[in-house]
């Protein structure tokens, strides 16, 4: 799939003119995406709470949301504080199911704009979930704390008065803007081979509140993994029966490639996206996907199968 140029969505710069009630229930995963995982012949999904061990059934719009999560209270007077949530709805939410269906069919019918939109969705979905934001905020606070403690006068005052560094909520949006604006995540996703796997009979995929999973089988489970290493794998369940797996081409073309070596790219240095569909995932790998998705979840796992969720909960309690 050729990609002549990469454009950013400009979410946050979209002007909404019509006057409607402000959206207060902000979904961290799009409702239209969750709708692909509904229990057959119903309008509900099954959701497993990994903290409580409880499985319940709810409509997609009733799960994986937080009140005012994308509200930018720091916005200047006169600017729309809810513009990010509205932008997600008008761009990604409105087109996601159709794009996923085209990917499942092999991707040949995807337009360049649709491909760009989906890559933006992958990077934004990866970045905007609470689990990733918490990691970013914690690392920022740790870095600022270490910097403050390196200044004797500041360190003395912090110890004397019991002060600590706290990064305010505004920084969440700065992080999102900086990472998306750098173009690196977009570029890395674009250069990868996209394998659209069909799940074998007898298996059904789940999704979670952190559905874009990045891992490197050559790094230990405790280590953070990103898409910038050659051995990185990106997993994103497209539906209960289809899985998007993304890998760097060097891992296939060069048997001597170091999976822990860092990829050197220039932002938006993309020309082609290779999509491969129609192959069935092996039974062995299919068994590993759901536990891996659940391992990277923040708290909730969503499925169209209660049995799949019961199996995950059983695994967690072994």
Residue-wise pLDDT for 95-121, tens only, equals 999 999 999 999 999 999 999 999 999
3-state secondary structure of 252: helix
Is residue 161, in this structure, part of any structural domain at all?
no
Q: Which residues contact 254 (CB under 8 A, 6 or more apart)?
A: none
Strands 45-49 and 207-208: unpaired
Does some domain include residue 152?
A: no
Identify whether 80 is part of a domain.
yes
Residue 11: what pLDDT? 44
- The yes-or-no verdict on residue 180 having pLDDT over 80 is no
131 pLDDT more than 60: yes
Pairing of strands 274-280, 193-198: parallel
Residue 13: inside a domain = no
Q: How many domains does the chain have?
A: 1
| Within a domain: 123 | yes
166 located within any domain: no
Question: Does a structural domain hold residue 178?
Answer: no
Residues 124 and 62: their CA atoms lie apart, in Å, by 21
CB environment 158-173: b (16+ within 10 A), e (fewer):
beeeeeeeebeeebbb
Q: What is the mean pLDDT of residues 83-94?
A: 69
Euclidean distance between CA atoms 58 and 63, whole angstroms: 7
Hey, how many other C-beta atoms are within 10 angstroms of the C-beta on 148? 15
In a domain, 33, yes or no: yes
Structural domain harbouring 235:
25-128+183-316
Q: Is the pLDDT of residue 143 over 60?
A: yes
């Amino acid at each position: 799939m050729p990609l002549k140029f990469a454009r950013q969505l400009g979410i946050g710069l979209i002007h909404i003119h019509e006057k409607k009630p402000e959206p207060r229930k902000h979904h961290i995963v799009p409702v239209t995406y969750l709708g692909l995982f509904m229990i057959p012949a119903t309008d509900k999904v099954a959701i497993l709470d990994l903290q409580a061990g409880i499985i319940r059934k709810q409509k997609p719009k009733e799960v994986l949301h937080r009140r005012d999560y994308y509200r930018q209270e720091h916005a200047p007077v006169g600017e729309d504080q809810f513009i990010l949530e509205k932008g997600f709805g008008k761009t990604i939410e409105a087109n996601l199911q159709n794009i996923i269906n085209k990917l499942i069919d092999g991707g040949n019918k995807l337009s360049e704009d649709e491909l760009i939109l989906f890559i933006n969705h992958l990077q934004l979905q990866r970045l905007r979930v609470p689990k990733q934001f918490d990691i970013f905020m914690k690392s920022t606070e740790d870095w600022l704390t270490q910097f403050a403690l390196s200044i004797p006068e500041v360190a003395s005052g912090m110890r004397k008065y019991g002060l600590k560094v706290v990064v305010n909520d505004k920084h969440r949006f700065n992080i999102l803007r900086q990472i998306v604006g750098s173009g690196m995540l977009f570029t890395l996703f674009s250069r990868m081979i996209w394998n659209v796997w069909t799940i074998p009979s007898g298996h059904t995929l789940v999704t979670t509140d952190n559905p874009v999973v990045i891992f490197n089988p050559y790094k230990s489970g405790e280590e953070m993994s990103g898409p910038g290493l050659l051995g990185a794998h990106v997993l994103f369940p497209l539906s209960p029966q289809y899985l998007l797996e993304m890998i760097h081409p060097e891992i296939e073309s060069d048997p001597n490639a170091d999976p822990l070596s860092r990829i050197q790219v220039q932002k938006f240095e993309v020309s082609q996206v290779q999509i491969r569909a129609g192959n069935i995932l092996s039974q062995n790998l299919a068994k590993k996907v759901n536990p891996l998705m659940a391992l990277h979840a923040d708290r909730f796992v969503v499925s169209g199968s209660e049995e799949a969720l019961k199996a995950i909960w059983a695994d967690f309690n072994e």
